[in-house]
Structures are given as structure tokens and as C-alpha cells.
Amino acid sequence: MNTDNLNKSKARSTDNFVLLVISGCISLGIFPFVILRVLQEDYAHAAMNAVAVFITFVLFLHAYITKKSDLTRTGLALLTVIVMTGTIFLKGAQNIHWVYPALTTTFFLLRPKFAATLTLTFLLVVLAMIWQESSPLFLLTFSITATATFLFCYAFSNRMRQQAQFLEQLATTDPLTETGNRRKLEEKLLEITQRIKRNDQLSCSLVIFDIDYFKQVNDQHGHACGDEVLKRFASVIKTRIRVTDSLYRLGGEEFVLILEDTKLFEAKSVAKQLAFEIEQTQWHLKDLRITTSAGIAEYETGESTYEWLERADEALYKAKSSGRNKCRASNENVA
């Protein structure tokens, strides 16, 4: 848990640092132009640059103080497009070269579809502004180069996002059973405990399932058979739970089912039903009979995720000790 949280914190810090550098460089980069425009008595352009410096500095402070990047990303992208549009409006087609860094910056900061919508609008507005003062050849050249840059940025941004999602899925999904892995489980548990701490009226229970005598399955039928049992086990559970519930492979033959907005007695009822479904399931070998034991625990305000899992694990131990193919709650008096 601590390692995953540390990695996430580092990733957020890196992202925030990049935005701080970008916003800081924009502020410092535009400021000299404010002075230059004033000396040139180009007060409209100077005012626009001054506002841009101020807004960028505010976004810089927001990212620095809150450590959150979403608002800064959106703000910087919008500001880039607006300032570039204003520059071309005030100075004419001679400043058309600023379109290209505006495109790349916007796609770097925003999600591909949002960036595409924003930059396409930006390009159409720019074309409308320079239409009257530009030659057909200039308009054709600009249209081709801007479109090529737009398409390249969109394709590159979209590909990078897909790769990031793919890597995230690899890092959080058990490849055999296609359930969440231990890392994803820990993230989910942390998310739930933080949510309940903010609102103690919420409830959540978890169930730890352990396939009974799974070692015998491997020993008697081979590991390939064991893998099929694990996949089928996960599939049976996933097809019989709610959309709001989630299943994770804790390790080996143990799985954790998180039941949100579910009290302890309700969770025990669900666990019993799922255990019955597993017992009645037809497996790929006719003589194969699989059962499961389960330990159930409802989150108690103030405890850590480790303590929550530990109580469910203790209940699972009681279930296995009492003969297996049993479901035990952490507090039988409540259940």
C-alpha cells in the first residue's frame, strides 16, 4: 500500500512540476512583451499580454498551492488559444506562425477529443480573420500545414493516451482471471475508506473467498486445470454481482469481493448465494467439484484498510476451520 501510494504521489508531483514549469515559463516569457508593447505604444496588445501574464501566474499559484493539475491544464490551454487568436487579430497574418505552438501546447495539456474540438474552432476563427488579407496561395499553404499539424497532434496524443490506459490496465489487472489485482484492490479500499470518513452514513462490506482444497486440484489435475478453475471461478462471481460491486484477486486462490452500500448481514447473504452458485457450477472436468469458503467484514469507521482486511481474513480462517464450504462474518452476532 505504501509503495503504491508513494508511486502515485511521485507521478502527481511530476505532472504538477511540469505544469509549474510551463506556467512559470509562459509568465516570464510574455512579461518582456508587455514592456515592449508599452514602449511601442501598442496598448491593446500590451493589455492582452498583461492579462495573460496575470492569469498564468494565478494558475501557477493554484498548481503550487493545491497540488492539483486539472484546472491549470484547462486554464493554460484556453489561455494559449485565446492569446494566439488575439495576437493574430491585432497584428494580422504576419503572426500566423504562433498557431503551431498553440496547437501542440493544447494537445499536450488536454485530452485528445477536447483538444481537437478547441483547436479546430481556433483554426476556423483564425482562417476567418486572415481570409480577406491573405492570398489564395498563402491560405492554401496555411490550411495544409495547419491541418497536417492538427492531425499529427491528434494522432500522437490519442496514441499516447491509449498506451497510458493500456499500461494502467496491465498494472492493475490480473492477467489470468481479468479481475483487479492486489494493487487495484488497495487503491479501491483506500478510496472507500476515505469516502466513508467524509460521510459516516455510508457502508461497505468485503468478502474474502478462498477456493477449498485448491492445492489438490493442482496436484491431481495439473496447473492448467487449476488455471481454468480460477478463471471460471472469477467468471461465475462477476456475472452474479452488481455493477457497483467489484472483484479482485488477492493472490493464489483468494479473491476479494467489495460490496458497496452493503451492510454486514446483507454481505453474508450475498456470500452464501455465491458460494452456492460455485458449488452448483459445472466445471470443465465432470468429476471436478469446487467449493469455497468466505470471510465477511463490514468497514468500521476509523480502522485502516489493513485492519479491515485482517478482520475478514480472520472470519475466513473460522470458515475454513469449521469444515470449509462455509461463510463466516467478522461479527456473527450482527450477521
pLDDT band at 313 (very low <50, low <70, confident <90, very high): very high
| Average pLDDT score over the chain | 87
C-beta neighbour count of 148 within 10 angstroms: 10
In 3-state terms, what secondary structure has residue 256?
A: strand
pLDDT band at 92 (very low <50, low <70, confident <90, very high): confident
Tell me how far apart the alpha carbons of residues 275 and 293 are, in angstroms, rounded to a whole number: 7
pTM strictly above 0.85: no
pLDDT band at 84 (very low <50, low <70, confident <90, very high): confident
- Catalytic machinery residues: 253
Strand order in the sheet with 246-251: 246-251, 254-260, 204-211, 292-298, 327-329
Instruction: Please compute, for residue 97, the number of CA atoms within 13 A of its CA located in the half-sphere on the CB side.
Output: 1
**pLDDT for 6 beyond 70:** no
Average pLDDT over residues 93-122: 90
For residue 335, the model assigns a pLDDT of 41
pLDDT band at 16 (very low <50, low <70, confident <90, very high): low
Cell 484492490 sits on residue: 185
Q: No. of H helices and E strands in the chain?
A: 11, 5
**Conformation bin of residue 196: beta by default, left when phi > 0, alpha when psi is -120 to 50:** alpha
Q: Alpha carbon of 51 to those of 33, 45, 48, 63, 257: distances in Å? A: 12, 10, 5, 18, 52
Tell me how far apart the alpha carbons of residues 332 and 335 are, in angstroms, rounded to a whole number: 5
**Model pLDDT for residues 65-83, shown as the tens digit of each residue:** 877 778 888 888 898 888 8
For residue 325, the model assigns a pLDDT of 92
Q: Alpha carbon of 75 to those of 25, 46, 64, 105, 248: distances in Å? A: 15, 20, 14, 12, 38
* Beta pairing partners, 292: 211
**pLDDT for 11 beyond 60:** no
**Model pLDDT for residues 119-150, shown as the tens digit of each residue:** 999 999 999 999 888 899 999 999 999 999 99
User: In order of start, what are the domains of the chain with their CATH numbers?
Assistant: 2-172 (no CATH), 182-329 (3.30.70.270)
Tell me the Cα Rg of the chain: 29
C-beta neighbour count of 334 within 10 angstroms: 11
